[in-house]
Structure 1
Amino acid sequence: MTDKTLFEPYTLGSLKLANRIVLAPLTRNRAGKGFVPGELAATYYIQRASAGLLITEATQISQQGQGYQDTPGIYTQAQIDGWRKVTEAVHARGSKIFLQLWHVGRISHLSLQKVGAAPVAPSAIRAQAKTFVNNSFVEVSEPRALALGELPGIVNDFRQAAANAIAAGFDGVEIHAANGYLLDQFLKDGANQRTDEYGGSVENRARFVLEVAEAVVKEVGAERTGIRISPVGPVNGISSSDPQPQFDYLVDKLDALGLVYLHVVEGAPGGPRDFAPFDYDSLRKRFTRTYIANNGYDRELATERLNAGKADLFAFGHKFIANPDLVERLKTGAPLAQLNPATLYGGGAEGYTDYPTLAG
């Protein structure tokens, strides 16, 4: 039997992908007035459209869902129109693109919220984390606990954002339930100390995520809905005392909803893959459709795990920032350029669309 490679076509639901390489969602803080993605964003995604699938930077579903300066939204007509320019450009290059739907929860700042309101969270527990506002990193603000009656409104915001994404021409959406943001906060008992039906047990803490996923699936279809999780990642001060049973249960339920893919950050995002004990193979076995593996992958490790049946697609993040032609570099074994940390967040073209390709 011939070994599989990262560079062969792959069928994701009804979509034909050119290869098994995915652009991971990467926050770059370069949205324009009204949190609208501009021409630079279109250029940025076009440059990386050799990936079989592009997943956009996290995109807030509402003003309440914003946690950082200059991140794009998907809740106004101007934002929909701005994103449509991106999707049309990417499709013209033959790639597919999903929009990542985002509510940051407690990882926000008073200055970003309507009339300076407190950020929201499952419980009024302040995260040991920072956010990026006024071109600098500052401590996140103290959150307030969401009332039970507010939760359906946020579920509806996710549903409407998914509908808006399809209207903007996206091939699908990815629900952001990772990295210590709102949905992850509900999942993990380090942030969720509720005593109602959304707190306490594994089943209760998964309830809100599953309600969001069900609403999005009903709106845009399961073949257009993926989800991202990070079972043990400590990003944004998040923690869990029981990640294995918690995520085994969640993935069983997500699989029953028919989601097109499960995107898993293995280990600590941007850090060690063995950050904490966790059986990712258990998730792989429970989810019967596409498994996207993320964190610390290179060509060798991805190829090894692909042929061992551990994953179907592989998401690359930081490597894609400085290497817009990452697919070609991986295929040919060319050296990878290094990113400039000083230009990661905010600004203009520098460190965003000016990284050279091998072809110059």
Structure 2
Amino acid sequence: MSLLNAAKNWAPFKINALGIITLVGADPLRASLARLVPSKFEYLPLFASQIFVDNTITASVPGFTLYNITDGILSTDLSTWWARWLLCQEITFNTTKFDIDSIDKPRSSSTIIWIVTIVASLLANACLIVVPFLMGDWYGLAASVSLIATTLTRNYMLVSLRQSVDRLVSRADNQATPVKLLLVLPSNRMVTIYTTRGITTEVLLTEATPSNERLYSLARVMTWIASGILVVCLGSACLAVQLIIISTTVGATVAVTQQVGCDEHHIGTKLEIKQRVHEGGESRKHVYVQLDLNAEQEAALLSWHFMPMEYNKHWWTAYRGLVEEYREDTAKSERVTTNGNEGETGSREGSS
């Protein structure tokens, strides 16, 4: 116990732990957590609990424009999680494309990874409570308990939003018509998306909302209360406890904001996103070629100012030439595939 007393009275310097806990890392955490990709470190205390108090994780992100080429529709209201997810990805200027689809069988996390994550988080959170308790630092104990309380309420809010995405994906299965989309980001980068009409309207353009608004609001209130206790108590805790709290939250916050161990290709249990890169040239002209547009879709892109006016003969001549080459190559590939399948069928019949 003498060692604990020495640690409690050890104070060679002072720090403003309260300012670090409440102010540092708010924007990176908001960007990372709001994209709704599960992190193995989100069960630990993190900085900036106020982003859940004011619910800015669900605040819309301006600057995106979605063009539905198949249906000829333009929209600027992307769901918050989808916009945040895009901003956290490595995207080229023109050649990135996404295949977004629902998963027939809900994806489940690895049992071993889940157990290790939970056990490690429980041990870390237990240390935050046990150490100040053994020291007799009641301010530190109250600060630790309040910090863990914000962790619980935060995870409830995130789980509620992820479950909402699952419900939206299930609802989107009723509209399985394939569509081609172009999405322009605030940075003016353009991505191509292949998905279904249902996922476009029900998931990408519909905000995720919790099924129980009252419980969600209660979680926000509890976060308010826990944050208030943290503000009152953390500054009065002994230096050793403050350092333990800060080191734990710093490590977890850095891991979450750097997306350590995250599976970026799955949102919830039912949505899968695959990222690819267009083959061929990097200009938008080559992207349009691979979209294999019909006359109406070309007219839509022209009206949306993706393509130059028709009197730009040089551009349109080059574009038409690339389209013909692309369609010839596609036809050759299909013939090779068909001949290969017929050959395999014939060899099986001969062997039988």
Normalising to structure 1: TM-score of the pair? 0.21
- For the pair shown, the structure with the greater C-alpha radius of gyration is 2
Relative contact order (alpha carbons < 8 A, sep ≥ 6): 1 or 2 greater?
Answer: 2
More helix by share: 2
More strand by share: 1
